[in-house]
Amino acid sequence: MKRFKLISIAIFVIFIHFQGFAQISDSITKIKPIKYPKEKFISTGLSYNNVFSFQLDFYSANEAFGHGQLYFLNGYKYGIETTYIKNLIIAPKISYEINAMFLCLRGGIVPYFSNKNFDLRILPEIGFSLYGRANLCYGFNIPINKSIPEISNHKISLIINIKMKWME
């Protein structure tokens, strides 16, 4: 009889335990995902890769606060980089940037045009971020075809992202 009571109590406790999990999982599945607003930024800055370059980008990013109020900012950047060595070099570029409080990761494709020369590079970058508002990054220009030798494989950039409130 004592064994029967113990088995009954154990089955009851297990049943109550799993019933609680079922209620928790039902409430979890009813949570709607949070949609973070798209923010628009103008990014401007200087970069150095054997010569100083000026860059101007349009940055469309998701701005979010994560667990413990961690700040995240990520999205696509479209822009142009320009410099003058012996003649004008123009580089339209597209990249994807991730900022997580003090860390900045960026990857992009940069085609450089100068006179009749065309130089395509893949540019991964890593660096420091100040909540996505200012970035100091180091990048390595991976040449696909290197026809403009004045442009170095190493790049350091200082970028400031300015939120465009007037676009809302």
d(CA 3, CA 12): 14
The predicted structure's pLDDT at residue 137: 96
CATH code, residues 38-167? 2.40.160
The predicted structure's pLDDT at residue 26: 47
The predicted structure's pLDDT at residue 66: 62
d(CA 150, CA 19): 69
Could you write out the DSSP letters of every residue in the chain? -HHHHHHHHHHHHHHHHHHHHHHHHHHHHTPPPPPPPEEEEEEEEEEESSSEEEEEEEEEEEEEE-GGG-EEEEEEEEEEEEEESSSEEEEEEEEEEEEETTEEEEEEEEEEEETTEEEEEEEEEEEEESTTSEEEEEEE-EEEE---TTS-SEEEEEEEEEE-GGG-
pLDDT tens digits in sequence order for the chain, 168 residues long: 566 555 556 555 555 544 444 444 445 555 555 566 788 899 999 999 888 999 999 998 887 766 556 678 889 999 999 998 888 999 999 999 988 889 999 999 999 998 888 999 999 999 999 888 899 999 999 999 888 888 889 999 999 999 887 555
Select from 84, 77, 73 the least CA-distant residue to 109: 77
The predicted structure's pLDDT at residue 22: 46
> Domain spans of the chain?
1-31, 38-167
Q: What is the value of pTM for the model shown?
A: 0.72
The predicted structure's pLDDT at residue 23: 46
The predicted structure's pLDDT at residue 33: 52
The predicted structure's pLDDT at residue 163: 87
